A and B are shown apart, each in its own frame.
Chain A
């Protein structure tokens, strides 16, 4: 009788422990999920990228925290499905850190480009202003030259007119003198 009770007890203990194991889930030290190593690799890549480390430190820390949580749950509970999920989250957090760094990098580039565009536009405006001034000066010079030429021409023509008048007067005087001589000759004859 006593032996039979012991056997029953042993049997029940066995059954209950099997049920317990199956409910708690895999106490038979399951294999480490590959997702955990993938997450670790993804995090290491992000951390070793200097752009990520310098431009997205907050996102990188969040990725690290997610990975540590997955590792902790794995060490403590060996809950494969939970760890797979946490590892997937950690991996995506590493991706977020990388994307955030790329975003910041592109933003910095954009700022640099817009600064050099402003500089270029300013230069172009200054150059255009200088060019316009040079053109104005050249036009002024040309106008001055033309004026001088006109003035010179005018002076010359006045001179010529005067000369002409003088010559005409001389001619008239000579003619008059010649006439006077002829009349004197005819009268003396």
Chain B
């Protein structure tokens, strides 16, 4: 009979351990990760990302919203995962937008340079 009792206790212990992994106060690390993701999304929104990397920025925003929702539902593991995804997508949006902005500036300069060169090729004709 004692072994039966022990078995029941073991069963209860297993159940308790399983439940403890998804209950309790929000872990500080998760909260910090969600707010880091929020910061990254805000920063990307202020950059040229809405113009040049709108898909990545949209994804980051959606993932951040999912992280917040999971946090409210006390699904902390899920919240951390969404926050991690949101962070990298926000950073990707910002980096892509910066690259595009620089590329465009270079293309513009190249054009004006070509115009200058064409002008410089016929200075005597213009001079008189």
Contacts and interface: CB of A to CB of B under 8 A. Distances in A.
Would you call the interface of chain A mostly helix, strand, loop, or mixed? Answer: helix
Contact of A23 (B17, B120, B123): B17
Given A103-B102, A113-B113, 20 more contacts: A9-B7, A19-B14, A19-B15, A59-B95, A81-B81, A92-B91, A93-B88, A96-B92, A99-B98, A100-B99, A102-B99, A106-B99, A110-B106, A113-B110, A117-B112, A120-B116, A120-B117, A120-B120, A124-B119, A135-B127
A117 B113 CA distance: 6
In the complex, which range does the number of interface residues on chain A fall in?
35 or more
B28 interface: no
B109 A117 contact: yes
B85 interface: yes
Interface string B51-86: 000000000000000000000000001000100110
B109 A110 contact: yes
Interface residues on B, range: 35 or more
A109 B113 CA distance: 13
B21 to A, nearest CB: 8
Contact of B88 (A19, A20, A89, A123): A89
Interface of A: 5, 8-9, 12-13, 15-16, 19-20, 23-24, 59, 81-82, 85-86, 88-89, 92-93, 95-96, 99-100, 102-103, 106-107, 109-110, 113-114, 116-117, 120-121, 123-124, 127-128, 131, 135
Contacts of A106: 99, 102-103, 105-106
A120 B88 CA distance: 42
Contacts of B98: 99, 103
Contacts of B92: 92, 95-96, 99
Interface string B9-53: 011001101100100000000000000000000000000000000
